[in-house]
Amino acid sequence: MVHLDNLSCTLGGSQALKDVSLHVERGEFVFLTGPSGAGKTTLLRVLYGDLKPTSGSATVAGIDLMRLRASGLPALRRKVGVVFQDFKVLAERTVFENIAIALEVRGVPSASIDRRVRAVIRALDLEERSYAPCRELSGGEQQRVAIARSMVVNPELILADEPTGNLDTDLSRHLIELFKQFNTYGTTIIMATHNREVLSWAPEARQAHLVRGQLTLPTAEIIEPAGFTARRGA
């Protein structure tokens, strides 16, 4: 599903990723760990086609990112769902509308949209907020909307950037169980996290640890303790 070999990426004249080699097979669950500034968000942006690698090789869902042009991005993003740190919800649209738009742009029939959106809203405990504008939601509720939007399209790969960062422990654990359920059905998951407690909820998942843009073996001393909440700059 994801095949990176000696991948490097330069941002603003600095090398954000250096010689990263990572292979994730279809159906795997991988935690991307590491301290703030390690390059986790940068790597996810590369996998989503938002950043162009400067060297190496990179293939995601059969698409060569080194050769990818703007015209090829829709094909990649039909296969890859993303949960961003900053939500990217449409503030004036309702919860239902924000989730449904991911299906509408794919030409899914209205009856199917209604069924699938309601199912994911129910799974993420957003039913009472279905028709509330997203500007009225808390940060944790907006995060759940963003997660629902990524899940509703049944992608081959989900990239999640600190998806539990604005959620309490109970909701965080419930969310990880939902990701594990999608994974059981064959969806590949790559999730960036700082939180060691989150790692303990999916012990079967593999860990890929980044330090200063390079993959290393994970060590407990580098991962922040449970309860640490990551923000931008990862």
For residue 168, the model assigns a pLDDT of: 85
> Can you state the percent helix, strand and coil of the chain, rounding each to 5?
35, 25, 40
pLDDT, tens only, 35-93? 888 999 999 999 999 999 999 999 999 999 999 999 999 899 889 999 887 778 999 99
More confident residue, 84 or 155: 155
Q: Which residues of 5-22 are buried (b: 16+ CB within 10 A; e: fewer)?
A: eebbbbeeeeebbbebeb
Question: Average model confidence (pLDDT) for the chain?
Answer: 88
For residue 50, the model assigns a pLDDT of: 93
For residue 178, the model assigns a pLDDT of: 86
For residue 217, the model assigns a pLDDT of: 63
In 3D space, the residue among 123, 153, 134 whose CA is nearest the CA of residue 96 turns out to be 134
When pLDDT is cut at 50, 70 and 90, the band that residue 27 belongs to is very high
pLDDT, tens only, 130-145? 999 999 998 889 988 9
Q: Six-digit token pair at 198?
A: 């989150």
CA 104 to chain centre: 21
Residue 225 pLDDT > 60, yes or no? no
Given a contact cutoff of 8 angstroms between Cβ atoms, the answer to whether 54 and 8 are in contact is yes
For residue 234, the model assigns a pLDDT of: 38
Residue 118 pLDDT > 60, yes or no? yes
From 107-121, 150-164, 212-226, the region with the lowest mean pLDDT:
212-226
Could you give the C-alpha distances from 23 to 26, 52, 106, 123, 216, in angstroms and in order?
10, 18, 29, 31, 14
Return d(Cα 30, Cα 115) in angstroms, integer. 30
For residue 164, the model assigns a pLDDT of: 85
Mean pLDDT calculated for residue range 188-194: 94
Mean pLDDT calculated for residue range 1-26: 94
Domains in the chain, ordered, with CATH? 2-216 (3.40.50.300)
Residue 219 pLDDT > 60, yes or no? no
Residue 124 pLDDT > 70, yes or no? yes
The DSSP annotation for 75-101 comes to HHHHHEEEE-TT----TTSBHHHHHHH
Mean pLDDT calculated for residue range 155-181: 89
Within the chain, strands assigned E span: 2-11, 14-24, 29-33, 55-60, 63-64, 80-83, 157-161, 188-192, 206-211, 214-216
Residue 218 pLDDT > 80, yes or no? no
More confident residue, 227 or 23: 23
Residue 230 pLDDT > 70, yes or no? no
For residue 171, the model assigns a pLDDT of: 84
Residue 157 pLDDT > 90, yes or no? yes
